[in-house]
């Protein structure tokens, strides 16, 4: 079965600084999707960024970018110019078959200090 | 465009009872997935429905069941509630059969006493 591991239960970053959240996964598939989701205290889960495994280019969405290392099965999220609104629980997730049936990591709580 | 709606938002039940949770997808979305979120087990996939058919199922006991109606609204039912069923239940909906972003609802907080 596929597994997703987030080894950092909690991270802190100073406002305007950069932080990287780590994620590793295990799969025998060659075609899949990887995601980072954000869950603020209000609990509404929001998609931050996604990466298709067949794409070599790392995905970028404004201040958010990923470092996708397929051979190492690593998928880290970099948040640049951190803002107070970035404070949330971040989940790394994996899926096959058109992005259905998400497998989530345990999550990383990100605290942003002003 | 209205987002994913889940009702009720909060629910308190006692052991042995059953409960039904509802999820109304974004208009046009035909896929509805359900997830259970607990502090101990994290986020776990329950099942996915597409066009009224269960397409995927997670590793949960038969007490957890679901269905989808012709208007794509979905319900999940938990029978014979146990204390361990206390959780946030999230549904996520997406448009079609190819890759599309899943949009999550706000969740239903179930407390079993």
Residue A26 has pLDDT above 90, yes or no: yes
Lowest mean pLDDT among A46-55, A56-65, B63-72, B93-102: B93-102
Backbone angles phi, psi at A64, to 5 degrees: -105, 135
B62–chain A nearest CA distance, Å: 18
Q: How far apart are CA A105 and CA B30, in angstroms?
A: 26
B45–chain A nearest CA distance, Å: 6
Q: pLDDT by residue for chain B (113 residues), tens digit each?
A: 689 999 999 999 999 999 999 999 999 999 999 999 999 999 999 999 999 999 889 999 999 999 999 999 999 999 999 999 999 999 999 987 667 788 999 999 999 99
CB contact under 8 A, A45 and B90: yes
Instruction: Note whether A107 and A91 are within 8 A (CB).
Output: yes
CB contact under 8 A, B99 and A99: yes
Assigned token pair, A13: 């970053």
Place of tokens 């509630």: B81
Interface test with B, best of A40, A44, A50 (most B CBs within 10 A): A44
Give the count of beta carbons closer than 10 Å to the beta carbon of residue A8.
17
- pLDDT at site B101: 83
């Amino acid at each position: 079965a596929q597994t997703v591991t987030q080894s950092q239960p909690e991270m802190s970053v100073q406002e305007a600084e950069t932080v990287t959240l780590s994620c590793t996964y295990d799969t025998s598939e060659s075609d899949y999707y990887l995601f980072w989701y954000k869950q603020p205290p209000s609990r509404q889960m929001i998609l931050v960024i996604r990466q298709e495994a067949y794409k070599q280019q790392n995905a970028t969405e404004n201040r958010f970018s990923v470092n996708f290392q397929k051979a190492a099965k690593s998928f880290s999220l970099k948040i640049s110019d951190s803002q107070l609104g970035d404070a949330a629980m971040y989940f790394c997730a994996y899926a096959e078959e058109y992005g259905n049936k998400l497998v989530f990591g345990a999550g990383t709580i990100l605290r942003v200090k002003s | 465009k209205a987002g994913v709606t889940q009702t009720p938002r909060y629910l308190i039940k006692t052991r042995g009872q059953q409960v039904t949770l509802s999820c109304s997808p974004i208009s046009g979305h035909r896929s509805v997935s359900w997830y259970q979120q607990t502090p101990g087990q994290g986020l776990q996939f329950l099942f996915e429905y597409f066009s009224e058919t269960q397409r995927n199922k997670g590793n949960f006991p038969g007490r957890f069941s679901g269905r989808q109606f012709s208007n794509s609204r979905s319900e999940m039912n938990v029978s014979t509630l146990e204390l361990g069923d206390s959780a946030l239940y999230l549904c996520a909906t997406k448009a079609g059969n190819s890759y599309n972003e899943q949009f999550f609802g706000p969740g239903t907080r179930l407390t079993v006493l």
